Amino acid sequence: MKILRYATMLVFILASIRIITGASDLTSTGTASAALLLSVPIVLAALGGLFSERAGVVNIGLEGMMIMGAWAGGYIGSQHGPWAGLFGAVVFGSLGALVHAIATVTFGVDHVVSGVANQYYCCRISSIPIYAFVSRWIMAWSITISRNRNYFTEWFTYLVRWSVLWMEEPGYFGCNR
Protein backbone atom coordinates (compact mmCIF):
# COMPACT_ATOMS: atom_id res chain seq x y z
CA MET A 1 0.00 0.00 0.00
CA LYS A 2 2.86 2.33 0.84
CA ILE A 3 4.56 1.74 -2.55
CA LEU A 4 1.32 2.48 -4.38
CA ARG A 5 1.00 5.74 -2.46
CA TYR A 6 4.58 6.78 -3.36
CA ALA A 7 4.07 5.87 -7.02
CA THR A 8 0.86 7.91 -7.12
CA MET A 9 2.63 10.88 -5.53
CA LEU A 10 5.48 10.62 -8.06
CA VAL A 11 3.07 10.56 -11.00
CA PHE A 12 1.16 13.51 -9.53
CA ILE A 13 4.36 15.54 -9.03
CA LEU A 14 5.62 14.83 -12.55
CA ALA A 15 2.22 15.66 -14.06
CA SER A 16 2.06 18.89 -12.05
CA ILE A 17 5.54 19.95 -13.16
CA ARG A 18 4.66 19.12 -16.75
CA ILE A 19 1.49 21.24 -16.60
CA ILE A 20 3.08 24.17 -14.76
CA THR A 21 6.20 24.44 -16.92
CA GLY A 22 4.70 23.31 -20.20
CA ALA A 23 7.67 21.00 -20.71
CA SER A 24 6.22 17.96 -22.41
CA ASP A 25 9.67 16.37 -22.67
CA LEU A 26 9.78 15.67 -18.94
CA THR A 27 7.60 12.57 -19.04
CA SER A 28 8.21 11.47 -22.62
CA THR A 29 9.49 8.02 -23.46
CA GLY A 30 12.64 9.53 -24.99
CA THR A 31 13.60 11.13 -21.68
CA ALA A 32 12.95 7.93 -19.75
CA SER A 33 14.93 5.80 -22.20
CA ALA A 34 17.82 8.29 -22.20
CA ALA A 35 17.88 8.27 -18.40
CA LEU A 36 17.96 4.47 -18.35
CA LEU A 37 20.65 4.37 -21.02
CA LEU A 38 22.86 6.86 -19.21
CA SER A 39 22.46 5.10 -15.86
CA VAL A 40 23.96 1.82 -17.08
CA PRO A 41 27.63 2.69 -16.20
CA ILE A 42 26.58 3.87 -12.75
CA VAL A 43 24.62 0.68 -12.13
CA LEU A 44 27.54 -1.46 -13.32
CA ALA A 45 29.93 0.38 -10.99
CA ALA A 46 27.46 -0.07 -8.14
CA LEU A 47 27.25 -3.80 -8.86
CA GLY A 48 31.04 -4.03 -8.91
CA GLY A 49 31.19 -2.22 -5.60
CA LEU A 50 28.52 -4.50 -4.17
CA PHE A 51 30.36 -7.65 -5.20
CA SER A 52 33.69 -6.36 -3.92
CA GLU A 53 32.13 -5.34 -0.59
CA ARG A 54 30.54 -8.79 -0.25
CA ALA A 55 33.98 -10.31 -0.87
CA GLY A 56 35.47 -8.16 1.89
CA VAL A 57 37.35 -5.68 -0.28
CA VAL A 58 36.78 -1.93 -0.08
CA ASN A 59 37.21 -0.83 -3.69
CA ILE A 60 37.20 2.93 -4.03
CA GLY A 61 39.02 2.86 -7.36
CA LEU A 62 36.06 1.60 -9.42
CA GLU A 63 35.64 4.89 -11.27
CA GLY A 64 39.31 4.94 -12.24
CA MET A 65 39.05 1.42 -13.59
CA MET A 66 35.97 2.41 -15.59
CA ILE A 67 37.70 5.50 -16.99
CA MET A 68 40.76 3.49 -17.96
CA GLY A 69 38.63 0.83 -19.63
CA ALA A 70 36.51 3.45 -21.40
CA TRP A 71 39.48 5.29 -22.87
CA ALA A 72 41.21 2.08 -23.93
CA GLY A 73 37.99 0.71 -25.41
CA GLY A 74 37.32 3.93 -27.28
CA TYR A 75 40.80 4.13 -28.74
CA ILE A 76 41.13 0.46 -29.61
CA GLY A 77 37.57 0.40 -30.95
CA SER A 78 38.24 3.37 -33.22
CA GLN A 79 41.35 1.70 -34.62
CA HIS A 80 40.33 -1.97 -34.82
CA GLY A 81 36.55 -2.23 -34.59
CA PRO A 82 33.92 -2.54 -31.86
CA TRP A 83 34.68 -6.09 -30.67
CA ALA A 84 38.36 -5.34 -30.26
CA GLY A 85 37.37 -2.17 -28.42
CA LEU A 86 35.15 -4.14 -26.05
CA PHE A 87 37.96 -6.62 -25.42
CA GLY A 88 40.42 -3.75 -24.84
CA ALA A 89 38.07 -2.09 -22.37
CA VAL A 90 37.71 -5.33 -20.42
CA VAL A 91 41.47 -5.93 -20.43
CA PHE A 92 42.43 -2.42 -19.32
CA GLY A 93 39.69 -2.22 -16.68
CA SER A 94 40.81 -5.60 -15.37
CA LEU A 95 44.39 -4.35 -15.35
CA GLY A 96 43.35 -1.61 -12.93
CA ALA A 97 41.65 -4.22 -10.75
CA LEU A 98 44.77 -6.40 -10.89
CA VAL A 99 46.95 -3.54 -9.64
CA HIS A 100 44.52 -2.99 -6.76
CA ALA A 101 44.49 -6.71 -5.93
CA ILE A 102 48.28 -7.03 -5.99
CA ALA A 103 48.67 -3.97 -3.77
CA THR A 104 46.15 -5.13 -1.18
CA VAL A 105 46.73 -8.89 -1.14
CA THR A 106 50.43 -9.25 -1.88
CA PHE A 107 51.82 -6.10 -0.27
CA GLY A 108 49.18 -5.68 2.45
CA VAL A 109 48.31 -2.08 1.61
CA ASP A 110 45.11 -0.71 3.13
CA HIS A 111 42.15 -1.13 0.76
CA VAL A 112 41.12 2.52 0.93
CA VAL A 113 44.64 3.82 0.31
CA SER A 114 45.13 1.44 -2.60
CA GLY A 115 41.71 2.34 -4.05
CA VAL A 116 42.41 6.08 -3.89
CA ALA A 117 45.86 5.61 -5.44
CA ASN A 118 44.34 3.37 -8.12
CA GLN A 119 41.69 5.99 -8.86
CA TYR A 120 44.32 8.72 -9.14
CA TYR A 121 46.74 6.81 -11.35
CA CYS A 122 44.06 5.35 -13.61
CA CYS A 123 42.86 8.90 -14.25
CA ARG A 124 46.42 10.06 -14.92
CA ILE A 125 47.24 7.17 -17.24
CA SER A 126 44.06 7.60 -19.23
CA SER A 127 44.70 11.34 -19.63
CA ILE A 128 48.05 10.87 -21.38
CA PRO A 129 46.54 10.19 -24.86
CA ILE A 130 44.29 13.25 -24.48
CA TYR A 131 47.24 15.42 -23.53
CA ALA A 132 49.24 14.13 -26.48
CA PHE A 133 46.32 14.72 -28.86
CA VAL A 134 45.67 18.25 -27.58
CA SER A 135 49.33 19.23 -27.72
CA ARG A 136 49.64 17.86 -31.28
CA TRP A 137 46.48 19.74 -32.32
CA ILE A 138 47.73 23.02 -30.84
CA MET A 139 51.11 22.64 -32.52
CA ALA A 140 49.46 22.08 -35.90
CA TRP A 141 47.06 24.97 -35.31
CA SER A 142 49.85 27.37 -34.37
CA ILE A 143 51.98 26.40 -37.37
CA THR A 144 49.02 26.91 -39.71
CA ILE A 145 48.20 30.33 -38.30
CA SER A 146 51.82 31.50 -38.10
CA ARG A 147 52.17 30.99 -41.86
CA ASN A 148 49.87 33.95 -42.32
CA ARG A 149 52.61 36.27 -40.97
CA ASN A 150 50.21 38.08 -38.71
CA TYR A 151 52.39 38.79 -35.70
CA PHE A 152 49.50 39.19 -33.28
CA THR A 153 48.13 35.73 -34.01
CA GLU A 154 51.63 34.32 -34.03
CA TRP A 155 52.38 35.59 -30.54
CA PHE A 156 48.93 34.56 -29.39
CA THR A 157 49.45 31.00 -30.59
CA TYR A 158 52.87 30.86 -28.93
CA LEU A 159 51.26 32.00 -25.69
CA VAL A 160 48.49 29.43 -25.95
CA ARG A 161 50.91 26.68 -26.88
CA TRP A 162 53.23 27.54 -23.99
CA SER A 163 50.41 27.74 -21.46
CA VAL A 164 48.82 24.46 -22.52
CA LEU A 165 52.02 22.48 -22.89
CA TRP A 166 54.07 23.71 -19.95
CA MET A 167 51.90 25.38 -17.34
CA GLU A 168 49.24 22.69 -16.85
CA GLU A 169 49.79 19.09 -15.99
CA PRO A 170 47.78 16.55 -17.95
CA GLY A 171 44.68 15.37 -16.18
CA TYR A 172 41.15 14.21 -16.67
CA PHE A 173 38.66 16.62 -15.08
CA GLY A 174 39.43 16.81 -11.38
CA CYS A 175 42.09 14.09 -11.41
CA ASN A 176 45.06 16.34 -12.11
CA ARG A 177 45.46 17.82 -8.64
Q: Is 27 inside any structural domain?
A: no
Q: What is the pLDDT of residue 58?
A: 83
Q: Is 163 inside any structural domain?
A: yes
Q: Is 4 inside any structural domain?
A: no
Q: Is 69 inside any structural domain?
A: yes
Report the domain count for the chain.
1
Q: Is 15 inside any structural domain?
A: no
Round to whole Å and give the CA distance between 131 and 139.
12
Q: pTM for the complete prediction?
A: 0.59
Question: Is residue 73 scored above 70 in pLDDT?
Answer: yes
Range of the domain at 134: 39-176
Q: Is 25 inside any structural domain?
A: no
With a CB cutoff of 8 Å and minimum separation 6, the contacts of 24 are: 18
Q: Is 46 inside any structural domain?
A: yes
Q: Give tens-digit pLDDT for 6-18.
A: 889 988 888 888 7
Question: Is residue 134 scored above 60 in pLDDT?
Answer: yes
Cβ atoms of residues 35 and 25 within 8 Å: no
